[in-house]
Amino acid sequence: MADDKNKNNRKWNVNLNNDNPDKRRTTAYYLLMALSVLMFLNYFILPSYMNRSVEEVTYSTFLNQVSTGDVSEVKLEENQITFVATDDAGDKQVYMTGLIDDPTLVTRLEEADVTFSKDIPTEASPILSILVSWVLPLLLFWGLGSLLGKQMAKRMGGGAGGALSFGKSNAKVYVKAGDSKTFKDVAGQDEAKEALSEVVDYLHQPKKYQDIGAKNPKGILLVGPPGTGKTLLARAVAGEADVPFFSISGSEFVEMFVGRGAAKVRDLFKEANEKAPCIVFIDEIDTIGKKRDNGGYGGGNDEREQTLNQLLAEMDGFEANKGIILLAATNRPESLDAALLRPGRFDRRVPVELPDLAGREAILKVHATNYKMDPNIDYNTIARATSGASGAELANIINEGGLRAVREGRTAVTQSDLEESVETVIAGYQRKNAVISPKEKKIIAYHEIGHALVAAKQTESAPVHKITIIPRTSGALGYTMQIEEGEKSLMTKQELFNKIVTLAGGRAAEEIVFGSITTGASNDIEQMTKMARAMITRYGMSDAFDMMQIETQTNKYLGGDTSMNVSAGMAEQVDREVLDIIKKAHEKAAVLLSENIDKLHELSRFLLVEETITGAEFMEIVGK
Ligand code: ADP
Ligand code: MG
Ligand code: ZN
């Protein structure tokens, strides 16, 4: 039975991607195009161009020329006279003049011995004239139009899916062959997998659910930050359920022409209906599912709104027990239109969060299976050094490690490759050939040791893992890596403050040793200000504001924009409190470094020589 389905899928896939270039047809189109250009020239340009050689003269000039005997030939046409006469230079020349009701003309022409004739007005067949003046141009335009359409569609990257191909959804059907994913490929994310395996089970045994009267959820929304494996999870559901799987990205509905997006939605659901039971997956649904607003000129984005309305209508249209399950993914759930989230639509949310320590270790291991790894690799250390990294970043770390191993001529990826790629991925590539003067290098070394020493001299701050003054392409000139000992979900006020003190340590060291300050602390300044601000506005960690929420985070997953909830007067006080924390932290860092000035010098000199020192080497000198 499974085989049957696969065959079905495959056949289907071919149908959808039917964009084989038909050479013969293309040639025909080119011919048509050439022909139409010719006709265009013939009808509109050439005659007017040729007319220029026919000279228009007055009727009296014409009569004059007839009487002087210059005219040799006259043709009386419907409303003009064309005649040939010898001009002043003695050449024959074609002239024309208006036709005047002149009864004496014939006698004059006879007297001057001119050959003359009159056109018999041809009664053109009406069918022929309609053909020539209407049908032919229409055909030409149609031909040209579809030719251009084809070309544009091709250029816009995909035969049937191009901008001008009408009414086909570009849903991709995943075929079971080769790259099909299962839940095994998704590491961690146990809650998400559990929620989704219910869907898989429903698709396998719908009867079990229907007997009880339970309907499957119509729509499931995967919500989480970028790179956490939402798309991967959806594909895994397809692999597990073994039913046709339509996958389309929200942006593919966004079309050049109004109404086309809606047509695509209709088309997608029509296909899904035929193939039910099946799964329809709409990735990045926020592109079409954004809140409808009636602001702005012309009432907002009509095209997107129509598409969304069509989607809502289709969702209401299909029967829950028909076996169509709608999956969608987004990293901005708060921007979705409320209508999409109503019961009966995407009424179930599955959070897909950033992995924790165990999750990170599992993800690293899953991806490591595709590489030749040194058997002694300690994945736990790598996982601990990558707190806050997404699944995608971890996958990238493994791959960068592989690339580095090849570069260094190794046959397997080692621990150091992975450690290096942690920095590559998290802090940017090493820039070994960057030119930095010895004086600058000295400042950077003191700056980094300043951070590390302040961290080491405070209790409750993460131990130093590595210090380096090899610059990164990210722009960081040095880098002090601290690794938390366990996974931390909560941070105390003291820990947060200590972090800020550590960040201030770089600048403080510069001040103490060189008596001047540099731009090197700009990133530290940004970070410590953010942290100090959050302490006051979001964590309720100041006496002045107690547990009052002053800022609301609006976009939790993307960057975390915030908006202030307080009056301008209050805002001023918030700024003062933030400044107060920063000043205290800066002072504390300076005191700590002054008390340990010998260590600061010794460590900095050591780092200057070594360029990179490990946490162990660092602690050895500190502890001496
Ligand atoms: P999202 O759709 O959430 O932005 P993706 O599903 O596209 O993220 O994930 C990108 C890549 O990151 C995946 O192809 C996979 O290689 C890796 N990845 C992310 N999360 C996981 C995970 N939990 N287990 C294994 N690999 C993961
Ligand atoms: Mg995705
Ligand atoms: Zn710094």
Q: How far apart are CA 602 and CA 618, in angstroms?
A: 10
Mean pLDDT of 76-88: 81
Strands 92-98 and 80-86 turn out to be antiparallel
Kindly identify the ligand whose nearest atom is closest to the C-alpha of 283: 2
Q: Which residues contact 256 (CB under 8 A, 6 or more apart)?
A: 163, 164
Q: How far apart are CA 378 and CA 387, in angstroms?
A: 16
Q: Which residues on adjacent β-strands are paired with residue 280?
A: 246, 326
Which residue's C-alpha comes closest to atom 18 of ligand 1? 391
Q: What is the pLDDT of residues 313-339, one digit of tens each?
A: 888 877 666 778 889 999 888 888 888
* 516 Cα to the center of ligand 3, angstroms: 15
| Predicted confidence (pLDDT) at residue 14 exceeds the cutoff of 50 | no
DSSP 3-state of 80? strand
Q: How far apart are CA 263 and CA 167, in angstroms?
A: 6
| CA nearest neighbour of 281 among 362, 370, 350 | 350
Query: Which of 67-71, 81-85, 498-502: highest mean pLDDT?
Result: 498-502
| CA nearest neighbour of 213 among 90, 137, 337, 321 | 321
Residue 430 carries which DSSP code?
B
| Choice between 40 and 333, residue whose per-residue pLDDT is larger | 333
Residue 444 pLDDT: 93
Q: What is the pLDDT of residues 427-469, one digit of tens each?
A: 665 555 556 778 888 999 999 999 999 999 997 777 888 898 8
Mean pLDDT of 169-187: 67
Which ranges of 473-542 does DSSP label H, i.e. alpha helix? Answer: 493-514, 522-537
| Predicted confidence (pLDDT) at residue 484 exceeds the cutoff of 80 | no
| Choice between 473 and 133, residue whose per-residue pLDDT is larger | 133
| Predicted confidence (pLDDT) at residue 557 exceeds the cutoff of 80 | no
Residue 158 pLDDT: 41
Q: Is the CB of 227 under 6 A from ligand 1?
A: yes
| Predicted confidence (pLDDT) at residue 363 exceeds the cutoff of 90 | yes
Pocket of ligand 1, candidates 183, 228, 282, 371: which has the most ligand atoms within 8 Å of its Cβ, to mutate? 228
Lowest mean pLDDT among 93-97, 301-305, 599-603: 301-305
CB 395 within 8 A of CB 382: no
Q: Mark residue 564 as left, alpha or beta (left: phi above 0; alpha: psi -120 to 50; beta: remaining).
A: beta
Query: Which of 129-143, 252-266, 396-410: highest mean pLDDT?
Result: 396-410
Q: What is the dihedral of CA 69, 71, 74, 78, to 10 degrees?
A: -110
Q: Which residues on adjacent β-strands are paired with residue 351?
A: 223
pTM of the predicted model as reported, rounded to 2 decimal places? 0.61
At what angle are helices 23-40 and 136-155 packed, to 10 degrees?
Answer: 130
* 446 Cα to the center of ligand 3, angstroms: 10
When pLDDT is cut at 50, 70 and 90, the band that residue 16 belongs to is very low
Residue 472 carries which DSSP code?
B
Lowest mean pLDDT among 316-320, 351-355, 386-390: 316-320
- Number of the ligand 1 atom closest to the C-alpha atom of 235: 6
Which residue type does 133 have?
Answer: S
Q: Is the CB of 513 under 6 A from ligand 1?
A: no
- Number of the ligand 1 atom closest to the C-alpha atom of 187: 24
| Predicted confidence (pLDDT) at residue 188 exceeds the cutoff of 50 | yes
Which residue's C-alpha comes closest to atom 27 of ligand 1? 391
DSSP 3-state of 54? coil
Kindly identify the ligand whose nearest atom is closest to the C-alpha of 234: 1
Q: Is the CB of 550 under 6 A from ligand 1?
A: no
Instruction: Please give the share of the chain, as a percent, with pLDDT higher than 90.
Output: 28
Residue 321 pLDDT: 64
Q: Among all chains, which residue has been given the structure tokens 């695509």? A: 264
* 363 Cα to the center of ligand 1, angstroms: 9
Q: Is the CB of 389 under 6 A from ligand 1?
A: no
Task: Report in angstroms the alpha-carbon separations of 437 from 226, 431, 442, 443.
Answer: 39, 15, 9, 10
Which residue's C-alpha comes closest to atom 12 of ligand 1? 392
Mean pLDDT of the residues in the chain: 80
- Number of the ligand 1 atom closest to the C-alpha atom of 222: 3
Residue 89 neighbours by CB distance under 10 Å: 6
Establish whether 448 is a catalytic residue.
yes
Residue 542 carries which DSSP code?
B
Q: Is the CB of 229 under 6 A from ligand 1?
A: yes
Q: What is the dihedral of CA 405, 411, 416, 418, to 10 degrees?
A: 60
CB 218 within 8 A of CB 320: yes
CB 221 within 8 A of CB 230: no
- Number of the ligand 1 atom closest to the C-alpha atom of 283: 2
* 186 Cα to the center of ligand 1, angstroms: 8
The tokens of 261 are what?
Answer: 């997006």
| Predicted confidence (pLDDT) at residue 304 exceeds the cutoff of 60 | yes
Q: Is the CB of 165 under 6 A from ligand 1?
A: no
- Number of the ligand 1 atom closest to the C-alpha atom of 352: 3
At what angle are helices 568-595 and 522-537 packed, to 10 degrees?
Answer: 130
| Predicted confidence (pLDDT) at residue 555 exceeds the cutoff of 70 | no
Mean pLDDT of 196-203: 87
* 435 Cα to the center of ligand 3, angstroms: 19
| CA nearest neighbour of 36 among 173, 111, 138, 162 | 138
Rg over CA atoms, the chain: 39
When pLDDT is cut at 50, 70 and 90, the band that residue 23 belongs to is low
Strands 245-249 and 278-283 turn out to be parallel
The tokens of 162 are what?
Answer: 């191009």
| Predicted confidence (pLDDT) at residue 85 exceeds the cutoff of 90 | no
Q: Among all chains, which residue has been given the structure tokens 């229907």? A: 210
Q: Which helix (H) or strand (E) holds 116?
A: strand 115-118
Domain annotation for the chain: domains and CATH numbers: 52-119 (3.30.720.210), 172-351 (3.40.50.300), 357-427 (1.10.8.60), 438-622 (1.20.58.760)
Residue 13 pLDDT: 35
When pLDDT is cut at 50, 70 and 90, the band that residue 10 belongs to is very low
- Number of the ligand 1 atom closest to the C-alpha atom of 188: 23
Q: Is the CB of 187 under 6 A from ligand 1?
A: yes
Kindly identify the ligand whose nearest atom is closest to the C-alpha of 390: 1
Residue 187 neighbours by CB distance under 10 Å: 23
| Predicted confidence (pLDDT) at residue 20 exceeds the cutoff of 60 | no
Q: Among all chains, which residue has been given the structure tokens 């309907």? A: 215
Mean pLDDT of 487-497: 86
Q: Is the CB of 366 under 6 A from ligand 1?
A: yes
Q: Is the CB of 228 under 6 A from ligand 1?
A: yes
Pocket of ligand 1, candidates 232, 332, 353: which has the most ligand atoms within 8 Å of its Cβ, to mutate? 232
* 390 Cα to the center of ligand 1, angstroms: 8
| CA nearest neighbour of 521 among 454, 425, 433, 609 | 454
Residue 16 neighbours by CB distance under 10 Å: 18
With b meaning 16 or more CB within 10 Å and e meaning fewer, what string describes 93-102? eebbbeeeee
Mean pLDDT of 586-590: 97
When pLDDT is cut at 50, 70 and 90, the band that residue 267 belongs to is confident
| Choice between 495 and 23, residue whose per-residue pLDDT is larger | 495
When pLDDT is cut at 50, 70 and 90, the band that residue 402 belongs to is very high
Lowest mean pLDDT among 17-26, 44-53, 266-275, 363-372: 17-26
Q: Which helix (H) or strand (E) holds 522?
A: helix 522-537
Q: Is the dihedral of CA 146, 147, 152, 153 positive or negative?
A: positive
CB 156 within 8 A of CB 162: yes
CB 18 within 8 A of CB 161: no
When pLDDT is cut at 50, 70 and 90, the band that residue 343 belongs to is confident
Q: Is the CB of 232 under 6 A from ligand 1?
A: yes
DSSP 121-135: PP---HHHHHIIIII
At what angle are helices 597-610 and 615-623 packed, to 10 degrees?
Answer: 150
Q: How far apart are CA 188 and CA 441, in angstroms?
A: 42
Strands 219-223 and 348-351 turn out to be parallel
Catalytic residue among 240, 361, 448, 577: 448
Q: Which residues surround ligand 2, an ion (CB under 5 A)?
A: 231
Q: Is the CB of 225 under 6 A from ligand 1?
A: no
DSSP 63-77: HHHHHHT-EEEEEE-
Q: Is the CB of 395 under 6 A from ligand 1?
A: yes
Burial of 410 (0-12, 13-18, 19+ CB in 10 A): middle
Mean pLDDT of 117-124: 66
| Predicted confidence (pLDDT) at residue 259 exceeds the cutoff of 80 | no
| Choice between 51 and 482, residue whose per-residue pLDDT is larger | 482
Mean pLDDT of 178-204: 85
| CA nearest neighbour of 329 among 299, 349, 306 | 349
Q: How far apart are CA 477 and CA 484, in angstroms?
A: 23
Which residue's C-alpha comes closest to atom 11 of ligand 1? 392
Residue 7 neighbours by CB distance under 10 Å: 10
Strands 464-468 and 479-482 turn out to be antiparallel
DSSP 3-state of 50? helix
Q: How far apart are CA 309 and CA 78, in angstroms?
A: 62
